[in-house]
């Protein structure tokens, strides 16, 4: 039986992993919310590692409020960089393999056809800078780690773009959705399955990987997809917009390639 700690377990990816882990008899999951484990506190991490003796740690804990990070970059850094480093140091001490979730926002979005794991990051907002700093710190602390970058994560667990759009469609509200960003929407359940199968395969090809559902589209196109598939009877009209209101600068192309 492989013991696995999952941090940030109350987020949509943590919930998605928990919903699917029952299909993997060889994995014993320990799901820790922020209230159960604050990754910015070193002694809390060491206590949990001693208590549960994990072989893997899946870090889904993160500061993900992109606009808020612009005015609270120190807070984003504390979680996404310092917290990631704290986990990495504990993983090194206790001989644990770290699986850390990162983001398309480590890139500047200037490559029209997308980014591969070997491309050099160049974040253009505070959130992206904090996640890139976390990646670098993990690489300095550990040899055995997987950094999995993903993009436009969505699930049935709110809040996310999918649940927000679907809720408004069910209320028959008209929508204006930007077409100024392009990326690959990724279902959290598919990412959860990828991570769990990575563990059960005992894969030792450590380093940075990209995982998405692989189909590039704009937010506008994604909204249309949601309407056609999940709310075909809605009377809502979805209009293409180019006036997306965001305090943070966001990459125009967030396509992640394998």
Q: Which two tokens stand for residue 77?
A: 């850094």
Place of tokens 């002694």: 43
The token duo for 187 is 């279902």
The position carrying tokens 């206590």 is: 47
Task: Give the active site residues.
Answer: 127
- C-alpha distance from residue 115 to each of 31, 132, 143 (Å): 32, 15, 23
| CA dist 65 → 39, 159, 255 (Å) | 17, 12, 20
What DSSP designation does 21 have? G
Q: Report which of 178, 128, 130, 185 is spatially closest to residue 154, judged by C-alpha positions.
A: 185
Tokens 């598919």 correspond to what residue? 190
SS3 call for 241: strand
Rounded Cα distance between 153 and 164, Å, is: 13
Closest CA to 90 of 133, 131, 137: 137
């Amino acid at each position: 039986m492989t013991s696995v700690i999952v941090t940030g377990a109350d987020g949509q990816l943590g919930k998605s992993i928990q919903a699917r882990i029952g299909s993997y008899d060889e994995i014993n999951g320990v799901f820790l919310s922020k209230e159960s484990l604050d990754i910015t506190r070193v002694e809390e991490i060491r206590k949990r590692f001693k208590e549960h003796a994990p072989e893997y740690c899946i870090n889904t804990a993160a500061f993900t409020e992109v606009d808020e990070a612009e005015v609270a970059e120190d807070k984003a850094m504390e979680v996404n960089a310092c917290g990631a480093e704290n986990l990495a140091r504990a993983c090194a001490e206790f001989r644990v393999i770290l699986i850390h979730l990162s983001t398309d926002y480590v890139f500047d979005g200037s490559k029209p056809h997308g980014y591969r794991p070997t491309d050099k990051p160049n974040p253009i907002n505070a959130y992206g800078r904090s996640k890139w700093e976390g990646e670098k710190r993990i690489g300095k602390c550990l040899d055995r780690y997987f950094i999995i970058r993903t993009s436009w994560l969505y699930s049935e667990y709110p809040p996310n773009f999918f649940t927000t759009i679907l809720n408004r469609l069910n209320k028959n509200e008209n929508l204006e959705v930007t077409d100024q960003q392009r990326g690959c929407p990724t279902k959290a359940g598919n990412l959860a399955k990828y991570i769990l199968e990575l563990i059960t395969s005992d894969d030792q090809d450590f380093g940075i990987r990209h995982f998405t559902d692989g189909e590039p589209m704009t937010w506008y196109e994604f909204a249309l997809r949601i309407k056609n598939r999940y709310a075909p009877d809605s009377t809502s009209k979805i209009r293409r917009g180019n006036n997306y209101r965001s305090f943070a600068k966001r990459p125009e192309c967030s396509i992640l390639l394998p």
